[in-house]
Amino acid sequence: MSDNTPIEKPINFIRHQLNDDLDSGLHKSIQTRFPPEPNGYLHIGHAKSICLNFGLAQDYKGKCNLRFDDTNPAKEDAEFVESIKNDVEWLGFKWDGEIQYSSNYFLKFYEYAIELINKELAYVCFLNAEETREYRGTLKQAGKDSPYRQTSVKENLDLLAKMKEGKFSEGECVLRAKIDMASPFMCMRDPALYRIRFEKHHQTGNEWRIYPMYDFAHCISDAIEGVTHSLCTLEFQNNRHLYDWILEHLDGFNKPNRPHQYEFSRLNLEYTVMSKRKLQQLVEDELVSGWNDPRLPTLSGLRRRGYTAASIRDFVERIGISKVDSMTDMKILEDAVRDDLNVVAPRTMGVIDPIRVIIENYPENQVETLQAPIHPQNEAMGKRDIFFSRELYIDKADFAEIAPNKKFKRLAIDKEVRLRNAYVINATSFDTDFDGNITTVYATYDPDTLGKNPTDGRKVKGVIHFVEASKALKAEFRLYDRLFTLENPGKNDHFEQLLNPNSLVVTYGFVEPGMKDTTPEMAYQFEREGYFCRDNQASDDLIFNKTVSLRDTWK
């Protein structure tokens, strides 16, 4: 095995292929690419491809370039280009060299189309869409040749030039490869190479009136850039035949060390959709707040929700690379972010659904400063100030008039509980509003229980969190859940009807005063509640998005 082949990484079929190609001398170094189409925001499925392509280049001391396969101006936008660049960098990767665009090669694509015509391997076809489908045949029945298939080279060159000059209308004709209308692979039955589009391109403006098809441009772009291993998902497996055919029939690329395509299984994640088309529908129909809605699997949405780049890279590592399509359990993604945040997230307290507590035996107008660890397992992170006074806020779920069972370890009438990092209190009575909702709990505290157990041997098992009232900061909490009610909503034709009505619940409560100047996207563990981050779209408002619960309690 060559010196630049890593041995510390888990071996999968792609690494085996890279090792073999280096050992045989087919390639002296490895070059991959990440080639998104700028027609939407990246989602976590793209993260799998990003980590694979950039990760292999890093491990094998090779190169990975970022290329936008921008051959369809009708669906592409400069906004998507910028978002993709930001997502790749946020994930922790840097492309080699300048950013590439397929549109950089439009003139070369046109020249290669002329080469195929001159070799009698391409022709201009005037069949309409319905006729083309009829001529293509079915999986069980061979297609039949287009009546334009035998047009002369000279006439085809003239027709292609007229297409380029905009002398035909959209849909009137296309340039097709001349391959085999009886091929068992539908993509090889004289596929289209060029079509007419009178659309302004985000890179080339109105310079072109014809645009190459993705399958034609993609393989040639790989070859121009010196890509050695073109990695894509399994739905392109049959297209590999067309990928190879195009490069084999162009004189400049028909070499043993030309790019070769290898397919791996795409990422399918439970309770969401991974299709750009479906994600775009959710955005355009305003069923979510935008491409960066924290309920979406987009990288910008996950980032806004509080997922870290490290947790997503770890998630990709956990699920691995294979050729088996499967549905990935959401728990694997959530476990990855829990494991990361448990180590790095400072601790704080937030009361999400507050009720007031009055400590009747505590002096009025007195506020006591206490200390709590920023991270209980990492003393190096230091301490933070918390406060205690006569008036506090606790979570409504942490009080019951009568403890429902012996396992209830929260506050109840004549039942003691410890306030986290503070004193033991005992509830004595409570007030309700006109609807019977508890608004205020009255309690007493034991002044001898700060940092120690009661001296008379009383056992206090429960611990609840709190925020002192006079210094508390008002905050909005956005509690996120699965976006859909079914594991695989994408299989349903009306997937938008399967949205979970409780995928977002908004509450208003209080946080510690030290949270005033928190940085957007900075992760915190709200003790006993979960991991949260400050929303990166809010200005001065304290809005916290729930990333994930402390443990997997979803059913």
Catalytic residue numbers, as ranges? 37, 266, 276
Euclidean distance between CA atoms 339 and 333, whole angstroms: 10
Compute CA 338 distance to the chain's CA centroid, rounded to the nearest angstrom: 16
- In the numeric block, the tokens 């699997």 are attached to 297
DSSP label of 518: P
Q: In residues, how long is the chain?
A: 555
The owner of tokens 């399918």 is: 268
Which amino acid, residue 123? Y
DSSP strand pairing (63-68 vs 100-101): parallel
Residue 457 to residues 323, 449, 452, 453, Cα–Cα distance (Å): 62, 11, 11, 8
165: Cβ contacts below 8 Å, ≥ 6 apart: 209
CA distances in angstroms from 141 to 81, 129, 146, 264, listed in the order given: 41, 19, 16, 29
Residue 246: both structure tokens together: 């195009």
* Helix or strand holding residue 330 (H, E): helix 330-344
Give the three-class secondary structure for 380: helix
CA–CA distance, 519 with 523 (Å, rounded to integer): 9
Residue with tokens 């402390």: 550
CA distances to 103, 333, 376, 480, 531 from 346, in Å: 46, 21, 9, 21, 10
